Protein backbone atom coordinates (compact mmCIF):
# COMPACT_ATOMS: atom_id res chain seq x y z
CA UNK A 1 0.00 0.00 0.00
CA UNK A 2 2.82 2.37 0.94
CA UNK A 3 4.72 1.61 -2.29
CA UNK A 4 1.59 2.46 -4.30
CA UNK A 5 1.24 5.82 -2.56
CA UNK A 6 4.94 6.60 -3.16
CA UNK A 7 4.50 5.65 -6.79
CA UNK A 8 1.51 7.97 -7.14
CA UNK A 9 3.44 10.79 -5.48
CA UNK A 10 6.47 10.18 -7.67
CA UNK A 11 4.34 10.29 -10.80
CA UNK A 12 2.72 13.47 -9.59
CA UNK A 13 6.09 15.16 -8.93
CA UNK A 14 7.51 14.11 -12.30
CA UNK A 15 4.54 15.58 -14.14
CA UNK A 16 4.01 18.60 -11.85
CA UNK A 17 3.35 21.94 -13.37
CA UNK A 18 4.65 24.40 -10.76
CA UNK A 19 2.18 27.12 -11.66
CA UNK A 20 0.46 27.54 -8.27
CA UNK A 21 -2.39 29.40 -9.85
CA UNK A 22 -3.89 26.11 -10.91
CA UNK A 23 -4.90 25.40 -7.30
CA UNK A 24 -6.46 28.42 -5.74
CA UNK A 25 -9.02 28.92 -3.01
CA UNK A 26 -12.55 28.55 -4.30
CA UNK A 27 -11.45 26.52 -7.30
CA UNK A 28 -13.44 23.46 -8.26
CA UNK A 29 -11.06 20.59 -8.92
CA UNK A 30 -11.01 16.80 -9.22
CA UNK A 31 -8.60 14.62 -7.28
CA UNK A 32 -7.85 10.95 -6.75
CA UNK A 33 -8.29 9.33 -3.34
CA UNK A 34 -5.16 7.64 -2.19
CA UNK A 35 -5.67 7.55 1.58
CA UNK A 36 -8.83 7.12 3.69
CA UNK A 37 -9.14 7.22 7.48
CA UNK A 38 -12.33 7.38 9.53
CA UNK A 39 -12.09 11.17 9.90
CA UNK A 40 -10.33 12.38 6.75
CA UNK A 41 -9.55 11.68 3.12
CA UNK A 42 -6.26 12.55 1.35
CA UNK A 43 -6.47 13.31 -2.36
CA UNK A 44 -3.87 13.60 -5.07
CA UNK A 45 -4.81 16.93 -6.66
CA UNK A 46 -1.81 17.21 -9.03
CA UNK A 47 -0.20 19.84 -6.84
CA UNK A 48 2.94 20.28 -4.81
CA UNK A 49 1.12 18.87 -1.80
CA UNK A 50 -1.85 16.62 -1.18
CA UNK A 51 -5.28 17.93 -0.48
CA UNK A 52 -7.07 17.03 2.72
CA UNK A 53 -10.81 16.84 3.29
CA UNK A 54 -12.19 16.12 6.74
CA UNK A 55 -15.36 14.14 7.44
CA UNK A 56 -17.35 17.23 8.46
CA UNK A 57 -16.46 18.77 5.06
CA UNK A 58 -17.24 15.62 3.15
CA UNK A 59 -20.99 15.58 3.77
CA UNK A 60 -23.88 16.78 5.88
CA UNK A 61 -25.30 13.32 5.85
CA UNK A 62 -25.33 11.32 9.03
CA UNK A 63 -22.35 8.97 8.48
CA UNK A 64 -19.88 7.62 10.98
CA UNK A 65 -16.72 7.28 8.88
CA UNK A 66 -15.12 8.45 5.62
CA UNK A 67 -14.90 4.78 4.71
CA UNK A 68 -18.69 4.88 4.25
CA UNK A 69 -18.26 7.43 1.47
CA UNK A 70 -15.11 6.73 -0.60
CA UNK A 71 -12.28 4.29 -1.11
CA UNK A 72 -8.72 4.61 -2.41
CA UNK A 73 -8.57 5.18 -6.12
CA UNK A 74 -11.94 6.95 -6.34
CA UNK A 75 -12.16 10.16 -8.28
CA UNK A 76 -13.65 12.96 -6.21
CA UNK A 77 -14.72 16.45 -7.17
CA UNK A 78 -14.02 19.02 -4.46
CA UNK A 79 -13.70 22.77 -3.83
CA UNK A 80 -10.46 24.28 -2.50
CA UNK A 81 -11.19 26.01 0.78
CA UNK A 82 -7.66 26.98 1.87
CA UNK A 83 -4.14 26.89 0.38
CA UNK A 84 -0.97 27.44 2.54
CA UNK A 85 2.10 26.72 0.43
CA UNK A 86 4.52 27.51 3.23
CA UNK A 87 2.98 24.88 5.47
CA UNK A 88 2.15 22.60 2.60
CA UNK A 89 -1.56 22.55 3.39
CA UNK A 90 -4.48 22.39 0.99
CA UNK A 91 -7.86 21.99 2.65
CA UNK A 92 -10.78 20.79 0.59
CA UNK A 93 -14.58 20.54 0.95
CA UNK A 94 -17.49 18.89 -0.74
CA UNK A 95 -20.30 20.60 1.17
CA UNK A 96 -21.14 23.23 -1.43
CA UNK A 97 -20.99 20.65 -4.20
CA UNK A 98 -23.13 18.30 -2.20
CA UNK A 99 -25.63 21.10 -1.59
CA UNK A 100 -25.67 21.94 -5.30
CA UNK A 101 -26.13 18.30 -6.23
CA UNK A 102 -28.81 18.01 -3.56
CA UNK A 103 -30.61 21.09 -4.91
CA UNK A 104 -30.61 19.62 -8.39
CA UNK A 105 -31.99 16.37 -6.98
CA UNK A 106 -34.64 18.29 -5.08
CA UNK A 107 -35.70 20.02 -8.28
CA UNK A 108 -36.19 16.61 -9.84
CA UNK A 109 -38.08 15.42 -6.75
CA UNK A 110 -40.38 18.44 -7.06
CA UNK A 111 -41.07 17.64 -10.71
CA UNK A 112 -41.69 13.95 -10.03
CA UNK A 113 -43.52 14.54 -6.70
CA UNK A 114 -41.10 12.11 -5.07
CA UNK A 115 -41.36 11.29 -1.40
CA UNK A 116 -38.04 11.34 0.46
CA UNK A 117 -36.74 11.45 4.02
CA UNK A 118 -35.39 14.49 5.87
CA UNK A 119 -33.82 15.07 9.27
CA UNK A 120 -35.28 17.81 11.47
CA UNK A 121 -32.39 20.07 12.51
CA UNK A 122 -34.21 22.62 14.62
CA UNK A 123 -37.58 24.22 15.33
CA UNK A 124 -38.37 27.86 14.79
CA UNK A 125 -41.41 29.99 15.52
CA UNK A 126 -42.74 29.38 12.04
CA UNK A 127 -41.87 25.74 11.53
CA UNK A 128 -38.97 23.29 11.14
CA UNK A 129 -35.54 23.51 9.48
CA UNK A 130 -34.76 20.16 7.85
CA UNK A 131 -31.95 18.66 5.80
CA UNK A 132 -31.47 15.86 3.28
CA UNK A 133 -29.16 14.98 0.39
CA UNK A 134 -26.53 17.26 1.89
CA UNK A 135 -28.88 20.22 1.55
CA UNK A 136 -29.53 21.78 4.92
CA UNK A 137 -31.58 24.84 4.09
CA UNK A 138 -35.03 23.32 3.61
CA UNK A 139 -37.96 24.68 5.56
CA UNK A 140 -41.23 23.10 6.67
CA UNK A 141 -43.93 25.60 7.76
CA UNK A 142 -45.80 24.63 10.90
CA UNK A 143 -48.97 24.30 8.81
CA UNK A 144 -47.26 21.61 6.72
CA UNK A 145 -45.99 19.46 9.59
CA UNK A 146 -49.06 17.30 10.15
CA UNK A 147 -52.74 16.87 9.43
CA UNK A 148 -53.19 17.15 13.20
CA UNK A 149 -52.83 20.35 15.18
CA UNK A 150 -49.21 20.89 16.28
CA UNK A 151 -48.90 22.67 19.59
CA UNK A 152 -45.13 22.29 20.07
CA UNK A 153 -42.86 21.88 16.99
CA UNK A 154 -39.86 21.19 19.27
CA UNK A 155 -41.05 17.62 19.68
CA UNK A 156 -40.00 16.92 16.06
CA UNK A 157 -36.32 17.93 16.44
CA UNK A 158 -33.91 15.13 15.43
CA UNK A 159 -36.75 13.08 13.98
CA UNK A 160 -36.81 11.65 10.48
CA UNK A 161 -39.87 12.62 8.41
CA UNK A 162 -41.15 11.63 5.00
CA UNK A 163 -41.77 14.75 2.89
CA UNK A 164 -42.52 16.16 -0.54
CA UNK A 165 -41.15 19.37 -2.07
CA UNK A 166 -44.06 21.79 -2.50
CA UNK A 167 -42.07 24.88 -3.54
CA UNK A 168 -38.55 25.36 -4.89
CA UNK A 169 -36.77 28.38 -6.43
CA UNK A 170 -33.12 29.38 -6.25
CA UNK A 171 -32.14 28.34 -2.73
CA UNK A 172 -35.63 28.38 -1.26
CA UNK A 173 -36.98 24.88 -0.71
CA UNK A 174 -40.31 24.33 1.08
CA UNK A 175 -41.29 20.80 2.03
CA UNK A 176 -44.42 19.23 3.54
CA UNK A 177 -44.89 16.22 5.76
CA UNK A 178 -48.64 16.86 5.97
CA UNK A 179 -49.11 16.02 2.28
CA UNK A 180 -47.31 12.69 2.72
CA UNK A 181 -49.28 11.99 5.87
CA UNK A 182 -52.56 12.81 4.13
CA UNK A 183 -51.71 10.58 1.16
CA UNK A 184 -50.71 7.75 3.51
CA UNK A 185 -53.99 8.12 5.35
CA UNK A 186 -55.83 8.15 2.06
CA UNK A 187 -54.16 4.89 1.01
CA UNK A 188 -54.77 3.37 4.43
CA UNK A 189 -58.38 4.55 4.31
CA UNK A 190 -58.91 3.03 0.89
CA UNK A 191 -57.44 -0.27 2.02
CA UNK A 192 -59.55 -0.19 5.17
CA UNK A 193 -62.63 0.77 3.15
CA UNK A 194 -62.19 -2.16 0.78
CA UNK A 195 -61.93 -4.51 3.75
CA UNK A 196 -65.31 -3.38 5.13
CA UNK A 197 -67.99 -5.60 3.63
CA UNK A 198 -71.76 -5.93 3.98
CA UNK A 199 -72.63 -8.05 6.99
CA UNK A 200 -69.52 -7.13 8.98
CA UNK A 201 -70.01 -5.94 12.57
CA UNK A 202 -67.72 -3.29 14.07
CA UNK A 203 -67.19 -1.29 17.24
CA UNK A 204 -67.11 2.32 16.12
CA UNK A 205 -67.17 5.82 17.55
CA UNK A 206 -69.54 8.64 16.66
CA UNK A 207 -67.45 11.24 14.81
CA UNK A 208 -70.09 13.77 13.80
CA UNK A 209 -73.81 14.37 14.40
CA UNK A 210 -75.92 15.48 11.43
CA UNK A 211 -79.68 16.18 11.12
CA UNK A 212 -80.07 13.08 8.93
CA UNK A 213 -77.86 10.72 10.93
CA UNK A 214 -74.36 10.34 12.31
CA UNK A 215 -70.95 9.59 10.85
CA UNK A 216 -69.26 6.72 12.68
CA UNK A 217 -65.51 6.21 12.53
CA UNK A 218 -64.28 2.67 12.03
CA UNK A 219 -60.49 2.86 12.05
CA UNK A 220 -59.57 5.18 9.16
CA UNK A 221 -63.04 5.10 7.64
CA UNK A 222 -66.11 7.20 8.38
CA UNK A 223 -69.45 5.73 7.35
CA UNK A 224 -73.02 7.01 7.58
CA UNK A 225 -75.44 5.74 10.19
CA UNK A 226 -78.77 7.07 8.90
CA UNK A 227 -81.31 8.29 11.44
CA UNK A 228 -83.71 5.55 10.34
CA UNK A 229 -81.11 2.88 11.21
CA UNK A 230 -80.38 4.02 14.75
CA UNK A 231 -83.34 2.32 16.43
CA UNK A 232 -86.47 0.33 15.66
CA UNK A 233 -88.32 3.12 17.45
CA UNK A 234 -88.89 6.49 15.78
CA UNK A 235 -85.97 8.88 16.35
CA UNK A 236 -86.92 12.54 15.92
CA UNK A 237 -83.51 14.07 16.73
CA UNK A 238 -80.19 12.23 16.39
CA UNK A 239 -78.75 14.25 19.26
CA UNK A 240 -81.44 12.82 21.55
CA UNK A 241 -79.92 9.32 21.36
CA UNK A 242 -76.29 9.81 20.24
CA UNK A 243 -73.40 12.14 21.05
CA UNK A 244 -70.00 12.72 19.48
CA UNK A 245 -67.37 10.38 20.90
CA UNK A 246 -69.94 7.77 21.92
CA UNK A 247 -68.93 4.15 21.32
CA UNK A 248 -71.46 2.23 19.21
CA UNK A 249 -71.73 -1.26 17.73
CA UNK A 250 -72.83 -1.20 14.10
CA UNK A 251 -73.46 -3.56 11.21
CA UNK A 252 -72.57 -2.81 7.58
CA UNK A 253 -75.78 -2.94 5.54
CA UNK A 254 -74.64 -1.24 2.34
CA UNK A 255 -71.47 -0.87 0.23
CA UNK A 256 -71.42 1.24 -2.91
CA UNK A 257 -68.25 2.68 -4.44
CA UNK A 258 -66.41 4.40 -1.59
CA UNK A 259 -69.43 4.66 0.69
CA UNK A 260 -70.57 2.36 3.45
CA UNK A 261 -73.96 2.35 5.19
CA UNK A 262 -74.30 1.31 8.80
CA UNK A 263 -77.10 0.20 11.09
CA UNK A 264 -77.48 -0.10 14.84
CA UNK A 265 -81.00 -1.47 14.78
CA UNK A 266 -79.91 -4.42 12.62
CA UNK A 267 -78.13 -5.73 15.73
CA UNK A 268 -81.14 -5.14 17.99
CA UNK A 269 -84.27 -7.19 18.49
CA UNK A 270 -87.39 -5.55 17.15
CA UNK A 271 -90.01 -4.35 19.66
CA UNK A 272 -92.24 -7.11 18.33
CA UNK A 273 -89.58 -9.80 18.98
CA UNK A 274 -89.04 -8.51 22.53
CA UNK A 275 -92.78 -8.51 23.18
CA UNK A 276 -93.33 -12.04 21.86
CA UNK A 277 -90.52 -13.35 24.07
CA UNK A 278 -92.04 -11.73 27.14
CA UNK A 279 -95.76 -12.44 26.60
CA UNK A 280 -98.05 -15.34 25.72
CA UNK A 281 -101.60 -15.90 24.55
CA UNK A 282 -104.03 -15.63 27.47
CA UNK A 283 -102.10 -12.94 29.35
CA UNK A 284 -103.81 -9.80 30.59
CA UNK A 285 -102.06 -6.56 29.58
CA UNK A 286 -102.77 -2.84 29.62
CA UNK A 287 -102.58 -0.83 26.42
CA UNK A 288 -103.36 2.59 25.00
CA UNK A 289 -105.92 3.21 22.26
CA UNK A 290 -104.04 4.76 19.30
CA UNK A 291 -106.64 4.47 16.53
CA UNK A 292 -110.40 3.97 16.27
CA UNK A 293 -111.88 2.37 13.18
CA UNK A 294 -115.29 1.12 12.07
CA UNK A 295 -114.40 -2.49 12.73
CA UNK A 296 -112.35 -2.06 15.88
CA UNK A 297 -109.43 -0.29 17.55
CA UNK A 298 -105.63 -0.44 17.46
CA UNK A 299 -104.19 -0.74 20.94
CA UNK A 300 -100.50 -0.07 21.64
CA UNK A 301 -99.51 -2.56 24.31
CA UNK A 302 -95.82 -1.61 24.30
CA UNK A 303 -93.87 1.06 22.46
CA UNK A 304 -94.38 0.47 18.72
CA UNK A 305 -96.24 -2.81 19.37
CA UNK A 306 -99.95 -2.73 18.53
CA UNK A 307 -102.73 -5.28 18.56
CA UNK A 308 -106.23 -5.35 17.08
CA UNK A 309 -109.22 -5.08 19.40
CA UNK A 310 -112.14 -6.13 17.19
CA UNK A 311 -115.49 -4.53 17.89
CA UNK A 312 -116.92 -7.97 18.57
CA UNK A 313 -114.47 -8.28 21.45
CA UNK A 314 -115.45 -5.05 23.20
CA UNK A 315 -118.08 -6.60 25.46
CA UNK A 316 -120.31 -9.61 25.88
CA UNK A 317 -123.21 -7.20 25.68
CA UNK A 318 -123.75 -6.57 21.94
CA UNK A 319 -125.73 -3.47 22.74
CA UNK A 320 -122.87 -1.71 24.51
CA UNK A 321 -121.31 1.12 22.47
CA UNK A 322 -117.80 0.87 23.92
CA UNK A 323 -116.23 2.83 21.05
CA UNK A 324 -118.39 5.79 22.01
CA UNK A 325 -117.27 5.58 25.63
CA UNK A 326 -113.51 5.92 25.05
CA UNK A 327 -111.13 8.29 23.26
CA UNK A 328 -107.72 7.92 21.61
CA UNK A 329 -105.11 7.89 24.36
CA UNK A 330 -107.34 6.12 26.90
CA UNK A 331 -105.93 3.04 28.59
CA UNK A 332 -107.73 -0.28 28.36
CA UNK A 333 -107.17 -3.68 29.94
CA UNK A 334 -107.25 -6.49 27.40
CA UNK A 335 -106.44 -10.15 27.02
CA UNK A 336 -104.18 -11.55 24.30
CA UNK A 337 -106.25 -13.97 22.25
CA UNK A 338 -103.81 -14.76 19.41
CA UNK A 339 -100.23 -14.03 18.28
CA UNK A 340 -98.97 -14.55 14.72
CA UNK A 341 -95.19 -14.21 15.08
CA UNK A 342 -94.44 -14.45 11.37
CA UNK A 343 -97.06 -11.94 10.26
CA UNK A 344 -96.46 -9.79 13.36
CA UNK A 345 -100.15 -9.68 14.20
CA UNK A 346 -101.93 -9.92 17.50
CA UNK A 347 -105.61 -9.94 18.46
CA UNK A 348 -106.93 -8.65 21.75
CA UNK A 349 -110.17 -8.95 23.67
CA UNK A 350 -111.71 -6.83 26.39
CA UNK A 351 -114.79 -8.97 26.90
CA UNK A 352 -112.73 -12.05 27.75
CA UNK A 353 -111.67 -10.33 30.94
CA UNK A 354 -115.33 -9.91 31.95
CA UNK A 355 -117.95 -12.34 33.23
CA UNK A 356 -120.58 -13.30 30.68
CA UNK A 357 -123.84 -13.76 32.63
CA UNK A 358 -125.55 -15.23 29.57
CA UNK A 359 -123.06 -18.06 29.33
CA UNK A 360 -124.83 -20.10 32.01
CA UNK A 361 -128.48 -19.45 31.09
CA UNK A 362 -130.72 -21.32 28.68
CA UNK A 363 -134.41 -20.81 27.98
CA UNK A 364 -136.97 -22.42 25.76
CA UNK A 365 -139.71 -20.62 23.94
CA UNK A 366 -142.91 -20.90 26.02
CA UNK A 367 -140.99 -21.68 29.21
CA UNK A 368 -142.43 -20.21 32.39
CA UNK A 369 -140.01 -17.98 34.34
CA UNK A 370 -140.16 -15.64 37.31
CA UNK A 371 -138.19 -12.45 37.87
CA UNK A 372 -137.95 -9.13 39.63
CA UNK A 373 -138.85 -5.86 37.95
CA UNK A 374 -135.74 -3.66 37.85
CA UNK A 375 -136.52 -0.74 35.55
CA UNK A 376 -139.78 0.67 34.26
CA UNK A 377 -139.56 2.16 30.77
CA UNK A 378 -141.97 3.94 28.47
CA UNK A 379 -142.10 0.92 26.16
CA UNK A 380 -141.92 -1.80 28.75
CA UNK A 381 -139.88 -3.02 31.70
CA UNK A 382 -136.55 -4.74 32.39
CA UNK A 383 -136.98 -7.81 34.51
CA UNK A 384 -134.07 -9.72 36.03
CA UNK A 385 -134.47 -13.41 35.29
CA UNK A 386 -131.79 -15.86 36.50
CA UNK A 387 -129.19 -13.05 36.61
CA UNK A 388 -129.87 -11.59 33.14
CA UNK A 389 -132.15 -8.79 32.01
CA UNK A 390 -135.30 -9.79 30.16
CA UNK A 391 -137.44 -7.31 28.29
CA UNK A 392 -141.15 -7.17 28.99
CA UNK A 393 -142.86 -5.10 26.24
CA UNK A 394 -145.72 -2.84 27.36
CA UNK A 395 -148.08 -4.79 25.12
CA UNK A 396 -147.21 -7.98 27.00
CA UNK A 397 -147.83 -6.62 30.48
CA UNK A 398 -151.60 -7.06 30.63
CA UNK A 399 -154.54 -8.09 28.51
CA UNK A 400 -156.02 -4.72 29.29
CA UNK A 401 -154.97 -1.67 27.33
CA UNK A 402 -152.62 0.46 29.49
CA UNK A 403 -150.91 3.82 28.89
CA UNK A 404 -147.87 3.18 31.09
CA UNK A 405 -146.28 0.15 32.73
CA UNK A 406 -146.58 1.66 36.21
CA UNK A 407 -150.33 1.27 35.99
CA UNK A 408 -149.77 -2.44 36.55
CA UNK A 409 -146.20 -2.89 37.82
CA UNK A 410 -143.77 -1.32 40.26
CA UNK A 411 -140.03 -1.70 40.56
CA UNK A 412 -139.02 -4.71 42.71
CA UNK A 413 -142.29 -6.53 41.95
CA UNK A 414 -141.80 -10.24 41.47
CA UNK A 415 -143.73 -11.49 38.47
CA UNK A 416 -144.26 -14.66 36.49
CA UNK A 417 -143.95 -14.61 32.71
CA UNK A 418 -143.61 -16.76 29.60
CA UNK A 419 -140.52 -16.73 27.30
CA UNK A 420 -141.37 -15.33 23.86
CA UNK A 421 -137.79 -15.02 22.43
CA UNK A 422 -134.31 -16.14 23.50
CA UNK A 423 -131.08 -15.20 21.64
CA UNK A 424 -128.10 -16.13 23.78
CA UNK A 425 -125.49 -14.70 21.43
CA UNK A 426 -127.15 -11.30 21.20
CA UNK A 427 -128.29 -11.19 24.81
CA UNK A 428 -131.96 -11.10 24.00
CA UNK A 429 -134.68 -12.48 26.25
CA UNK A 430 -138.26 -11.30 25.67
CA UNK A 431 -141.02 -12.32 28.07
CA UNK A 432 -144.76 -11.86 28.36
CA UNK A 433 -146.70 -11.47 31.60
CA UNK A 434 -149.96 -11.27 29.67
CA UNK A 435 -149.46 -14.64 28.00
CA UNK A 436 -148.45 -16.21 31.25
CA UNK A 437 -151.54 -14.84 32.98
CA UNK A 438 -153.83 -15.95 30.17
CA UNK A 439 -152.41 -19.47 30.21
CA UNK A 440 -152.68 -19.58 33.98
CA UNK A 441 -156.29 -18.40 33.91
CA UNK A 442 -157.16 -20.93 31.25
CA UNK A 443 -155.50 -23.71 33.22
CA UNK A 444 -157.32 -22.66 36.36
CA UNK A 445 -160.59 -22.57 34.54
CA UNK A 446 -160.06 -26.04 33.11
CA UNK A 447 -159.23 -27.30 36.55
CA UNK A 448 -162.31 -25.68 37.93
CA UNK A 449 -164.46 -27.29 35.31
CA UNK A 450 -163.15 -30.71 36.14
CA UNK A 451 -163.81 -30.25 39.85
CA UNK A 452 -167.29 -28.86 39.39
CA UNK A 453 -168.42 -31.21 36.68
CA UNK A 454 -169.96 -33.77 38.93
CA UNK A 455 -171.63 -31.34 41.32
CA UNK A 456 -173.21 -29.11 38.71
CA UNK A 457 -174.50 -31.54 36.11
CA UNK A 458 -177.84 -29.68 35.89
CA UNK A 459 -176.30 -26.35 35.13
CA UNK A 460 -175.85 -25.22 31.56
CA UNK A 461 -172.53 -24.19 30.14
CA UNK A 462 -173.70 -20.58 29.69
CA UNK A 463 -174.65 -20.35 33.34
CA UNK A 464 -171.30 -21.65 34.40
CA UNK A 465 -169.51 -19.05 32.29
CA UNK A 466 -171.71 -16.28 33.65
CA UNK A 467 -171.06 -17.28 37.21
CA UNK A 468 -167.32 -17.55 36.60
CA UNK A 469 -167.13 -14.13 34.96
CA UNK A 470 -169.01 -12.65 37.86
CA UNK A 471 -166.37 -13.96 40.18
CA UNK A 472 -163.54 -12.42 38.11
CA UNK A 473 -165.20 -9.01 38.18
CA UNK A 474 -165.30 -9.11 41.95
295 Cβ partners below 8 Å, 6+ apart? 310, 311
Q: Please give the tally of structural domains in the chain.
A: 5
Looking at the fold, whether 103 and 89 belong to one and the same domain comes out as no
Evaluate if residue 237 carries a pLDDT over 90: yes
- Does 129 share its domain with 154? yes
Q: Please say whether the dihedral angle defined by the alpha carbons of residues 248, 249, 254 and 256, taken in this order, is positive or negative.
A: positive
* CA end-to-end span of the chain: 171
Are 110 and 149 found together in one domain?
yes
Residues 263 and 275 in one domain: no
**C-alpha distances in angstroms, 398 versus 302, 394, 417, 432, 438?**
56, 8, 11, 9, 9
Structural domain boundaries enclosing 364: 357-438
Q: Residue 187 falls within a domain, yes or no?
A: no
User: Is 285 part of any domain?
Assistant: yes
- At 264, the pLDDT band (50, 70, 90 cuts) reads very high
pLDDT at 198 over 60: yes
67 domain residue, yes or no: yes
In the predicted structure, residue 1 carries a pLDDT above the cut 50:
no
Q: How far apart are CA 264 and CA 269, in angstroms?
A: 10
6 band by pLDDT with thresholds 50, 70 and 90: very low
75 forms bridges with which residues in the sheet?
Answer: 32
Percent pLDDT > 70 in the chain is: 91
Could you tell me if 329 and 400 lie in one domain?
no
Distance, CA of 382 to CA of 391 (rounded, Å): 5
Name the 3-class secondary structure at 15.
coil
Q: Is residue 459 part of a domain?
A: no
Evaluate whether residue 326 is within a structural domain.
Answer: yes
Q: What is the mean pLDDT of the chain?
A: 87
Q: What is the pLDDT of residues 51-96, one digit of tens each?
A: 999 998 988 777 889 999 999 999 999 999 999 888 888 999 988 8
Is the backbone of residue 86 left (phi > 0), alpha (psi -120 to 50) or beta? alpha
> What local confidence, expressed as pLDDT, does residue 464 receive?
55
**Whether residue 363 is found in the same domain as residue 337:** no
Average pLDDT on 233-262 reads 92
Each residue's pLDDT tens digit, 331-367: 999 999 999 988 899 999 999 998 888 888 999 999 9
Domain boundary among 154, 182, 210: 182
Q: Based on the fold, state whether residues 160 and 115 are members of the same structural domain.
A: yes
Tell me: pLDDT of 20 over 60. no
Same domain, yes or no: 316 and 301: yes
Point out which residues pair with 12 in neighbouring strands: none
Give 162-176 pLDDT, tens digit per residue.
999 999 987 789 999
List C-alpha distances in Å: 153 to 117, 128, 149, 159, 329: 18, 7, 10, 11, 64
Predicted local confidence at residue 455, as pLDDT: 59
245 and 204 in a common domain:
yes
pTM score: 0.52
CA count, 13 A, side-chain hemisphere, 24 = 4
Does the structure show a pLDDT above 90 at 459? no
Which among 336, 353, 370 is the end of a domain?
A: 353
Residue 454 belongs to a domain: no
- Residues 6 or more apart whose Cβ sits within 8 Å of residue 364: 419, 422
Which residue, of 295, 320, 353, is where some domain finishes?
353
Confidence (pLDDT) at 472: 52
CATH code (residue 77): 2.40.50.140
Any domain includes 79: yes
Same domain, 80 and 140: no
> Does residue 474 belong to any structural domain of this protein?
no
Inter-residue contact 228 to 191 (CB < 8 Å): no
> Has residue 450 got a pLDDT over 90?
no
Question: pLDDT at position 105, please?
Answer: 87
Task: Dump the DSSP string for 141-176.
Answer: EGGGS-SS--S-GGGGTT-EEEEEEEEEETTEEEEE
Cα 183 from chain centroid (whole Å):
30
Query: Do 13 and 58 belong together in one domain?
Result: yes
Q: What pLDDT does residue 217 have? A: 92
- Rounded Cα distance, 270 and 145, in Å: 49
The answer to whether residues 148 and 115 belong to one domain is yes
- Checking if the pLDDT of 230 tops 70, the result is yes
CA distances from 462 to 60, 63, 456 (A): 156, 156, 12
State residue 446's pLDDT score: 82
Amino acid sequence: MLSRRLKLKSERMSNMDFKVGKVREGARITGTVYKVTPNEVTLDINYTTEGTIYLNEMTQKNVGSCHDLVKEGDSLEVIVKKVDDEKGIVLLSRLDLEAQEGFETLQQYFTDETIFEVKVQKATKGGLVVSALGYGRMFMPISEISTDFIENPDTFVNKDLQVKVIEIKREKVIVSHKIVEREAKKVARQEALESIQVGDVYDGKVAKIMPYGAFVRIGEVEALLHISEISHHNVKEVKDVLEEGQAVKVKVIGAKNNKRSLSMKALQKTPWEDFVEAHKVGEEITGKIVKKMQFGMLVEVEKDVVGMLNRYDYSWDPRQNYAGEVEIGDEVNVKITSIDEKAKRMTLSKKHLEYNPWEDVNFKIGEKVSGQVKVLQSNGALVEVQGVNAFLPIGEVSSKRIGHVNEVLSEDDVINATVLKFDKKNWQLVISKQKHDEVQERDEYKKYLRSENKEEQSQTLGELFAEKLKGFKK
